[in-house]
Amino acid sequence: MVLTLYRDQPSSTSFFQQFIKDDVLARLTALDRRARKKGLESLDPARSRLVSIGTEVDADGKVTKNGYGGLSLPWRAREDGGWAARVGAELDEIKSRIREAHGARLRFLIWAGMGGSAEDKAMYIASGLLDKGPKVYVLDSTDPAKLESILEDMVKRSKTSLPEALKGTLVAGMAMGMTSYEPVVNLEKIAALYEKHGIDGRPNIIYMTLPGSLLDQFAGGRGFRRVELQLDGGNTTAGRHSAPLTRGSLYPLGLAGVDLERWIEGTFLDDDAMYHAWQLASYLQAQSSLGRDKVTLLLPKGLAGAGVWTKQDFEESLGKSEEQGIKIVVGEKIKLANYWPPRDSRQDRVFLALLQRGGDGENKQKVAALKRAGYPVACVNVPAGAQLSEYMQFIHHVVFGLGYLREMNFVTQPGVELYKSITNRIHGEASKAGGIRASKDWMKMTQAAATLKYRGGITLHFPWTGPGLVKTKNAAEAYAQLLRHFAANSSIGSGELTFFGDTRYSPRGRAVRKVLDRAAESVFRAGLKMPADVYEGPAVNHSYHEMIIGHGRCFSTVLASLDTASIPSIGYDAEYHLAQYLATQMALAGRGRPVVAILLDNLGESTLRALGEFFQSATRYLK
């Protein structure tokens, strides 16, 4: 990959020289070697920046985990060799177990995981890499609607009964955190399905996690098969850094017939590629020093599905600082009218374009227009035929480079842990109170003093953010007033619209997504000249909420439907999911981040039409 920088002002040279002066590449390999040969006790975070930013440390200052696996796994793969063949043999054995137990061929793969345990699979699906294997479903939510929609699609595709479809299904649970509970919820419900239909699910269910984690405790106790995540036998990756070289990435690719030898070789970056990655990190750091921390991503068609994965890798890794942030803007059409002029003090954009030879004319035209207008642009030229794994490994090194320059730990995720702990407390208290809607925290969210109804079954709640700022009884106008207040004092620079419900598989959820996409464009991008994320909760909480909680400067709008889905036959309701919805607001509010809630009576056509009108009206009030 070749890097070209435009408008490198202030110059990023001094930042890049730190990598050369500190001999970072040699020190990285030495650190990896020392950790493997002499153990974690040989690492001292007080004496080494590399140790302090890339390891987990306990209260006594002792290193408890080496987190450099995202960078070092390609070194292990090159040294050890044979990883592709090993994965192939393991997958053959899994398929044989299913065939011998049920007389069924493998037709479906359900991947139960959150954030980094799932985003790579979503990227592979979007990129077409998994088209030729079993149908892959990403189960990254505790909304029963998602599992319900997946099961319905399996039956439809297989043209048979659900029990027969389950026999030909591999279920993989993955959690890279000790406290991740969502995969436990989903594995428990899927296991109940197998039991309900009298099917031995042990040949069909595998899991990947840390020893002793909540997932390990549950799945191990059920007799499900635990698979080591890393082929080197280590435990050195965070979830978002586990792709592209752990079994969590290689298993779905291998089942789809992807050439794993080529895939693995794609991660073997040479020194020049790593230096280009650190040059890009230096450029982004220099731009960020002037407040240009909204990195707007332009991807070629072959990498179009990589946006959210890239966003997560950056933001979850680097979202811990109030002072320094970096927002990766994805899914946005390049419109100069939506940006502040280059010489305006409010101009906070820098553009990162990946250009690939062949079929990339549109992006090249956009880059030319941005350069002519005077915006800072970094171009990474990707060789024709390059593996997606090469891009992913390159991005890992860019993220590390920014962590190094900022002296920031890029492997921990305190914001994610905050939201999870609040969820568990709320869910426990709600169970005793008779349900989430009877809990004191839910009642606080829906208190009348900070609640405004809009027509068509839309209700705006703002108890956490500025009830005293609202001077109207009109919900759409109130929403606009809150946005205007925080934008006027420059305390926000972006927005998010997050729906707590399935937006991938259920038709109604996809319809919600369309409404929110339009709102992001009209309210935030055109109305406020701010980028806006549109995504699904709680997956977003494990993806890039670290930046929103840690760095802030984002106006969060979280939505949910009161008409929730359920699967009564296996006791699956939306109580935990709604606890996550509430906990997200409380985690943000606890850090002083502006957040409002919107509750929909249902997801019917008239309600979604009213939701669209709500945002249209808010846009008019903003003007």
pLDDT tens, 429-484? 999 999 999 999 999 999 888 999 999 999 999 999 877 899 999 999 999 999 99
Q: What is the secondary structure of 95-123 as a DSSP string?
A: HHHHHHHHS----EEEEE--GGGTHHHHH
pLDDT tens, 197-209? 999 999 999 999 9
Beta-carbon contacts of 85 under 8 Å, excluding residues fewer than 6 positions away, are none
pLDDT, residue 359, reads 57
Does the fold of domain 73-264 match that of domain 2-23+269-406? yes
What's the rounded Cα separation, in Å, for the pair 605 and 512? 10
Of all helices (H) and strands (E), which one includes residue 478? Answer: helix 475-488
What's the rounded Cα separation, in Å, for the pair 413 and 320? 8
- pTM, two decimals, is 0.95
What's the rounded Cα separation, in Å, for the pair 613 and 363? 33
Going by C-alpha positions, the residue among 374, 116, 355 that lies closest to residue 249 is 116
Q: Which pLDDT band, with edges at 50, 70 and 90, does 128 fall under?
A: very high
- For 22, phi and psi rounded to 5 degrees? -85, 0
Considering the four listed CATH numbers 3.30.70.260, 3.40.50.10490, 3.90.50.10, 3.40.1160.10, the one that applies to the domain covering 414-622 is 3.40.50.10490
Strands 458-461 and 595-600: what pairing? antiparallel
What's the rounded Cα separation, in Å, for the pair 596 and 587? 12
pLDDT, residue 177, reads 76
pLDDT, residue 361, reads 67
List of long-range contacts for 564-572, beta carbons under 8 Å, 24+ apart: 564/143, 564/144, 564/145, 565/143, 565/144, 565/145, 565/148, 565/506, 566/144, 567/144, 567/147, 567/148, 567/189, 569/196, 570/189, 570/192, 570/193, 570/196, 571/189, 571/192, 572/144, 572/147, 572/189
What's the CATH number for 2-23+269-406?
Answer: 3.40.50.10490
pLDDT tens, 547-605? 999 999 999 999 999 999 999 999 999 999 999 999 999 999 999 999 999 999 999 99
Q: Which pLDDT band, with edges at 50, 70 and 90, does 623 fall under?
A: confident
Q: Which pLDDT band, with edges at 50, 70 and 90, does 358 fall under?
A: low
The CATH superfamily holding the domain 73-264 is Glucose-6-phosphate isomerase like protein; domain 1 (3.40.50.10490)
- For 559, phi and psi rounded to 5 degrees? -125, 150
Distance from the Cα of residue 366 to its chain's centroid: 27
90 burial (CB, 10 Å; 0-12 / 13-18 / 19+) is: middle
The 3-state secondary structure of 270-295, one letter per residue: CHHHHHHHHHHHHHHHHHHCCCCCEE
Of all helices (H) and strands (E), which one includes residue 70? Answer: helix 69-80
pLDDT, residue 182, reads 87
What's the rounded Cα separation, in Å, for the pair 594 and 178? 29
Q: Where are the domains of the chain?
A: 2-23+269-406, 73-264, 414-622
pLDDT tens, 404-432? 999 999 998 887 788 888 999 999 999 99
pLDDT tens, 492-548? 999 999 999 999 999 999 999 999 999 999 999 999 999 999 999 998 888 888 899
